Amino acid sequence: MGKPVNSRSQKQTSAAASTIASDGPGADAAPPAPGPVDKAMEVLAALAGSGAPHRLADLARHTGLAKPTVHRLLRALAATGYAEPATGGSYRPGPRLLGLAASVLADDAALRRVSPVLDELRERTGLFASYAVRDDRTVIHLDVRAPAQGLGLDLRPGFCEPVTAGAAGLALLAALPAEESEPLSTGPDGAPADEATHAALAAAARDGYVFDGTDTWLDRRALAAPVRDATGHAVGALVLTGVAFTLDDAAAQLYGPMVRSAAAAVSASLAAMPGVRLGLVAGPERPTSGTGGNGRRGSTDGVGRAGEKR
């Protein structure tokens, strides 16, 4: 079975990404200041977070931007339908933002194939079943099926976590060549990955899935297996998430092969599809404000538009 992870730097933040500098000229130069588009995207990302409607002060704190800047951007977003004023001066996602998200997700063939698989995994295990992709050093859960009993876990579509924080990210890292996964598995201070992380990646590559038996944020356990396209490239991961008494070592030994087989079935269905779908992976890094692992980055790696190779 997949080897549990016993110790690992969990709280990797977007600030850690900026500590990894190249060896070329200008490696010590300060990163460029975020431009207007970067700031607008940060506000949109915060606006789409859980707990809406959001107060101006909360959005400013979450993005690291000044209140006047956030207020100006919110007014512009509201004028175009991407934000909507709520009570007490707060804001929530607007109809155009909701429609945009719904349209993209509903139109993607990969998610249509994943959807019934997630339903089956949830029914068979009684755990959270989700589909996650990687955006540089962040893992994003795009589709989440919650069990009847929520298990006290707040896992919902759009939930983000650092790539080394759990099974989903480790499964995706293990599917990468070593020269690509090594820089992404560093700690918050840029230190090389510890022995536990290396052991987890090796076990995932060997077993086809990874079981993260310790999550220091919550009493959470997760198990994941990569989904691949026709070229063998990992474009996402199927993830089971529970708590210690619902996903212990014995349960992981039972569910691990189940998730691996489910991921293989989805991979087989994707093999007939051209290009990579919703596999948001490493691209050029750009600085983002500290968001506790919720920062968005970069572009796609080897992917332009959906299904189009660069």
Task: Tell whether 6 and 58 lie within a shared domain.
Answer: no
Task: Tell whether 120 and 148 lie within a shared domain.
Answer: yes
User: Is pTM beyond 0.75 here?
Assistant: no
Task: Tell whether 113 and 83 lie within a shared domain.
Answer: no
Please check whether residue 293 is in contact with residue 14, taking contact to mean a CB–CB distance below 8 angstroms: yes
Please check whether residue 277 is in contact with residue 229, taking contact to mean a CB–CB distance below 8 angstroms: yes
User: With 70 as the cut, is the pLDDT of residue 149 above it?
Assistant: yes
> Of 264-268, 277-281, 305-309, where does mean pLDDT reach its minimum?
305-309
Task: Tell whether 71 and 87 lie within a shared domain.
Answer: yes
HSE at residue 123, side-chain half, CA atoms within 13 A, is 6
- CATH number of the domain to which 95 belongs: 1.10.10.10
Q: Which residues pair with 227 in a beta bridge?
A: 236
Task: Tell whether 3 and 81 lie within a shared domain.
Answer: no
Split at pLDDT 50, 70, 90, the class of 275 is low
Task: Tell whether 41 and 117 lie within a shared domain.
Answer: no
Q: What is the pLDDT of residues 6-29, one digit of tens each?
A: 434 333 433 343 444 444 444 455
- CATH number of the domain to which 143 belongs: 3.30.450.40
pLDDT at 214: 64
Please check whether residue 267 is in contact with residue 152, taking contact to mean a CB–CB distance below 8 angstroms: no
Task: Tell whether 3 and 53 lie within a shared domain.
Answer: no
- The alpha carbon of 30 is separated from its chain's Cα centroid by a whole number of angstroms, namely 27
CA nearest neighbour of 81 among 107, 101, 61: 101
The count of domains in the chain is 2
Please check whether residue 108 is in contact with residue 142, taking contact to mean a CB–CB distance below 8 angstroms: no
User: With 70 as the cut, is the pLDDT of residue 63 above it?
Assistant: yes
Task: Tell whether 70 and 13 lie within a shared domain.
Answer: no
Residue where a domain terminates, one of 57, 85, 101: 101
- Looking at residue 210, its amino acid is V
Tell me the pLDDT of the chain averaged across its residues: 78
Residue 50 belongs to domain spanning: 31-101
Q: What is the pLDDT of residues 181-239, one digit of tens each?
A: 888 877 666 677 777 788 888 888 889 999 987 654 568 899 999 999 888 889 999 99
pLDDT average, residue stretch 79-102: 90
Task: Tell whether 71 and 136 lie within a shared domain.
Answer: no
